[in-house]
Amino acid sequence: MSARAIKVTVNGVAYERSVEPRLLLADFLRHTLGLTGTHVGCEHGVCGACTVLVDGDSARSCLMFAVQADGARIETVESLGTIGQMNALQEAFHEHHALQCGFCTPGMLMTATDLMRKYPLASDDEIREGLSGNLCRCTGYEHIVRAVRAAVGRAKDAPS
Amino acid sequence: MKPVAFDYVLAESIDTTVAALAAAGGEAKILAGGQSLVPMLNFRLLRPAILVDINRIPDLAFIDERADHIAIGALTRHYRLETSPIIAEHFPVVAEAMRHVAHLAIRNRGTIGGSLSHADPAAELPMLALLLDATLHVVSPTGPRAIAAWDFFLGPLTVDLAADEMLTRVTIPKLPPVTGWSFVEVARRTGDFALAAVAVTLTLRDGLIGEARIAMTGIDETPKRADEAEALLAGRKLTADLIDAAIAAVRANVNPPTDLHASSDYRRHLIGVLTGRALADAWRRAGGEKP
Ligand SMILES: Cc1cc2nc3c(=O)[nH]c(=O)nc-3n(C[C@H](O)[C@H](O)[C@H](O)COP(=O)(O)OP(=O)(O)OC[C@H]3O[C@@H](n4cnc5c(N)ncnc54)[C@H](O)[C@@H]3O)c2cc1C
Ligand code: FES
Ligand code: FES
C-alpha cells in the first residue's frame, strides 16, 4: 500500500507527486493538483463528467488510477481555453446555450474534442451516438448537439 | 465510493504477471482496461489485496494476420478492433459490433482480454468469440493452454480461468469466401449493454446455405449459439418460411432473464425478431437470392 512516485504532464505542466495506488486519477487532478474543472458524478464510468484526455485519447478519470498515469500526458478542460479566450468548441457551447448548471460540461467538451478527431460526425445521429455516454440533467441535449454540430462545421470551414 | 487500499504491481511480462498472481494465492487481480474492474473496486464489490497492471507489457496489443487465422493480443483496445483494417477485411461483423460496445472513452481503454475474462452476460465480444469459433490462449504457472470459446464461458461473470491464469491471445479462423454476416442489437441507449443482440454468418455453397452460425447475447447466463436453428438452415435456400422456422427454433431454446429493463417474454420475442433480421441481412450480403 506504499505510496509511489509518479511524473505526469497535465495541460503542459510537468508534476512529480507521490500517490497511494488506490487514488483515482480524477481525485489526483482535483485534490492533489487543485484542477477542479474535471467533475466527478458517478465514479463508475456511466456519467462521463470526469472525462479527460490521456495521451490524446478520451478516458474516464474515475476508472484509472493516478499511478497508471506515470509518464503520461493528461489534458483536462482547463487546457481548452480561458474565459477571455475560449476555443472554438467552447465558443460554440456558449453561442448555442449548451450548458445550464455546467456540471456535465467539462466531460462534454473533452468527449467532443476526441469525437471530432476520430469520427466524421456527419449527421446529428452520429453526434448523439458519440455523446450518449455523457449525461446532462439540464439541457435536454438538443443544444449540446447543436453546439457540436456548429463546431464540426467550423472545423471543416477552417483553412487547414 | 473509493476502492479499499491495495498493493500495485506493474507487470513487465506475461511470466511476471502469472508469477505475481500465483504468489498472491487468489488475492490478486489483473488490471487491464479497468472499465469493468474499477467500477467494482469503487463500489467495493471486490477487495483484492493486489492489482497486477498489465498495461505496459510489451507486445500484448496486436492484430496479426496469419495464413489461416487472425491473432489478437489480450491488451488490444476496443477502439483498435473498431478501426483495424485487418478486422474490417476479415471480420466486418466484429467492426460493426464494436460500435455498440460502450462509448468512445471506454472503448479507448477497454480490452478484448478484459471483456472476455469479465464475461458480462450481455457483452458483445464473448458472443463474437462464440460466433467465430475463436480459441483463447491462456498462460498459467504450469505453462500455456488453449480453450475453445465454446468451453470458456461458464456462467455470468464466470469463465474457465483460474486465479493465477492470464488470457494472452485470441485466435480466430478466417471465414470461407462467400460468407455474409450481420450484427443487430437492441439496447435502451446507444452504448448500453444489449437487451438482446444477434450475430450471424451464412456461408453459401452453390447458392445454398453451406454453414449457418447464429450467436446471441443478453438472453441467458452466458452467450449462446443457436444450434437447432443453425442445423435447420444448413443445405437450404433462405426463404420467408425458413426464417420463420429459425425464429421459432431460437425462441423455443432460450431462457432469457427478467430484470428492471425487460421481461423474459419481451427478450424472447426480441431475440426472434433480431434473428429474422440478421438472417435476411447476412443472406443479402452473401449475395443470396431475395427470400
Ligand atoms: C459505462 C460502461 C458501459 C459499458 N458498456 C459495455 C457494452 O455495451 N458492451 C460491453 O461488452 N462492454 C461494456 N462495458 C465494459 C467494457 O467493454 C470493458 O472494457 C470490458 O468489459 C472489460 O475490459 P477491460 O480491459 O476494461 O478489463 P478490466 O476492467 O481491467 O478487467 C475485467 C476483469 O477481467 C480480468 N482480466 C482483464 N484482463 C485479463 C487477462 N488478460 N487475463 C485474465 N483476466 C483478465 C480482470 O482481473 C477483471 O476481473 C462498459 C463499461 C462501462 C464503464
Ligand atoms: S464520474 Fe467518471 S464517469 Fe461518472
Ligand atoms: S448543464 Fe447541468 S448537467 Fe448538463
Closest ligand 3 atom to Cα of A98: 1
Pick the CATH number of B63-173 from 3.40.50.1980, 1.10.3210.10, 3.30.465.10, 3.40.50.300: 3.30.465.10
Residues of A in contact with B2 (CB under 8 A): 22, 24, 27, 43
Question: What average pLDDT is seen over chain B?
Answer: 96
Kindly report the pTM of this predicted structure.
Answer: 0.96
From the CB of A60, is ligand 2 less than 6 Å away? Answer: yes
pLDDT digits (tens, 9 = 90+) for A142-154: 999 999 999 999 8
* CA nearest neighbour of B117 among B3, B4, B34, B213: B34
- Taking CA–CA distances from B55, the nearest residue in chain A reads A68
Query: Residue B182: which H helix or E strand, with range?
Result: strand B179-186
Which burial class, exposed, middle or buried, applies to B196 when counting CB atoms under 10 A from its CB (0-12, 13-18, 19+)? buried
d(CA A19, CA A4): 5
**ipTM metric:** 0.96
Give the end of a domain, one of A25, A51, A79. Answer: A79
Q: Kindly state whether residues A55 and A107 are assigned to the same domain.
A: no
For position A20, what pLDDT does the model report?
A: 97
| Interface touch A63/B53, C-beta < 8 Å | no
Q: Are residues A106 and A65 both part of a single domain?
A: no
pLDDT for the residue B291 = 74
Instruction: Specify whether A66 is located in the same domain as A15.
Output: yes
- For B248-270, what is each residue's pLDDT tens digit? 999 999 999 999 999 999 999 99
Measured in Å, residue A16 CA sits from the centre of ligand 2 at 25
Same domain, A75 and A96: no
The answer to whether residues A98 and A59 belong to one domain is: no
Domain residue ranges in chain B: 7-53, 63-173, 179-285
pLDDT recorded at residue A154: 81
pLDDT one-digit tens code per residue, B24-45: 999 999 999 999 999 999 999 9
Assess whether A8 and A50 both reside in one domain. yes
* Grid coordinates belonging to A141: 441535449
Question: How many Cβ atoms are within 10 Å of B210's Cβ, its own excluded?
Answer: 17
pLDDT for A1 equals: 62
Residues of the domain holding A34? 4-79
Number of domains in chain A: 2
- Give contacts of A68 with chain B, Cβ < 8 Å: 31, 34, 53, 55
Residue B216 DSSP one-character state: E
How many alpha carbons lie under 13 Å from residue B251 in its C-beta half-sphere? 17
Please check whether residues A34 and A64 belong to one and the same domain: yes
Query: Are A54 and A112 part of one and the same domain?
Result: no
Count the neighbouring beta carbons within 10 Å of the beta carbon of residue B237. 14
Q: What is the DSSP letter of B236?
A: S
Q: What is the CATH number of the domain that holds A114?
A: 1.10.150.120
Closest residue to A60, CB basis, from B3, B10, B105? B105
HSE toward the beta carbon, residue B150, CA cutoff 13 A? 8
Question: Residues A59, A98: one domain?
Answer: no
User: Rounded CA gap, A127 and A82, in Å?
Assistant: 25
CATH 3.30.70.340, applies to B179-285: no
B174-233 pLDDT per residue, tens: 999 999 999 999 999 888 899 999 999 999 999 999 999 999 999 999 999 999 999 999
pLDDT tens sequence across A43-91: 999 999 999 999 999 999 999 999 999 999 999 999 999 989 999 999 9
pLDDT at position A158: 67
pLDDT band, residue A2 (cuts 50/70/90): confident
Q: Indicate if ligand 2 lies below 6 Å from the C-beta of A43.
A: yes
CA distances from B96 to A33, B78, B92 (A): 40, 12, 6
Q: Which CATH architecture has domain B7-53?
A: 2-Layer Sandwich (3.30)
Pairing of strands B50-53, B28-31: parallel
- Of B42, B143, B16, A1, nearest to B30 (Cα)? B16
Predicted confidence at residue A126, as pLDDT, reads 96
Beta bridge partners of B52: B9, B30
Same domain, A69 and A92: no
Residue list, ligand 1 pocket, CB within 6 Å:
A 45-46; B 29-37, 39, 74, 101-102, 106, 110-111, 113-115, 117-118, 120, 123-125, 161, 166-167, 191-193
DSSP string, A57-118: EEEEGGGSBGGGGTT-EEE-GGGT--SSS--HHHHHHHHTT--SS-SSHHHHHHHHHHHHHH
* Whether B102 contacts chain A with CB within 8 A: yes
Site to substitute for ligand 3 among A39, A100, A144, most atoms within 8 A of C-beta: A100
Instruction: Please give the distance, rounded to the nearest whole angstrom, from the Cα atom of residue A84 to the centre of ligand 2.
Output: 28
In the beta sheet, which residues pair with residue A52? A59
